[in-house]
Amino acid sequence: MPHRPAVFLDRDDTLCRNADLPDHAWGDATPGDLLDPAHVHAMPGVAPALERLRKAGFAIVIITNQGGIARSHGHLTDIDACHDALRTQLPLTPPDKAPHPIAHTLIDACYAAPHHPSGTNSRFADDHPWRKPGPGMVLAAARELNLDLSQSWMVGDKQRDLDAAIHAGIDPARTIQVGDTCATPDLPAAVEKILAAIAPKHPVRAERVTLRCTDQHQHPLRNPRTRATVAAAARGLAERSGLQLLDLTLTDDSITATIATHRLAAMAFMNDLRRHTNHWHTQSQGAPLWPE
């Protein structure tokens, strides 16, 4: 397989519902230990978000703690059944032509840590390196799928998800926590951030235009109120006209704006600023600021 980056994803409450499932979804298990495939439901917007990541060249890898197995609430086959249910809800459209069957879903691989230090199943009653925040699942996926961790990302709803990626060597800036109380509410929003971060940066065309006072000997912009009013007018005009104001510099007798636009639009912007501030200054001081 080619060396490529991945987006590592927590499963529960990142890809599929968990916290808001009905009580009967857990059976005899501890709430949160989802081991019944009948209650695996991909969250809204997940499928198109993953499609965008695949088109951008990312592998999609699930890493999930499933301590319910250590607590004797189920078997490893139950984890597999839940992942199969999720795969069926996230098909490739159209399917890839790659020979491996897993290529026909949006998910490249699923890793699960069935361990828990307070478990009753002696086989898994430990704090295994695979268990998040340990890095084991990320490192195993990187080795087995030939992934480039330096360009990979992690998305999850818990800090331990992010810590697992960071401990594996993923840049903390490439980890995103999602949830109702987070700056990024869900996976689709996280994907927007990822794609924006990797988008090629095009040089911004900018024009610089300057207005100078009619009477430079009076230095009217030394007055703090005048200076603040002119600066506020410039920023407000840029916001209303949809122009990106890259820089604004004021001296005692001039204002210079650097605007991400072409020359004609920059000159039109300054003409509007001249007209508005002249009107205000004439009403308040009896004379215009700028030459007519």
Residues forming the active site: 10, 12
Q: Give the residue among 136, 137, 189, 133 at the shortest CA–CA distance from 14.
A: 189
Give one DSSP letter per residue of 20-87, joined into a string: T--GGGSTTSPTT----GGG--BPTTHHHHHHHHHHTT-EEEEEEE-TTTTTTS--HHHHHHHHHHHH
Name the pairing type of β-strands 153-156 and 6-9.
parallel
Question: Any idea of the CA torsion for 163, 180, 111, 169, to the nearest 10 degrees?
Answer: -20
CA distance 174 to 197: 9
Q: Which stretches of the chain are DSSP H helices? A: 46-55, 76-89, 136-145, 159-167, 187-198, 224-241, 263-285
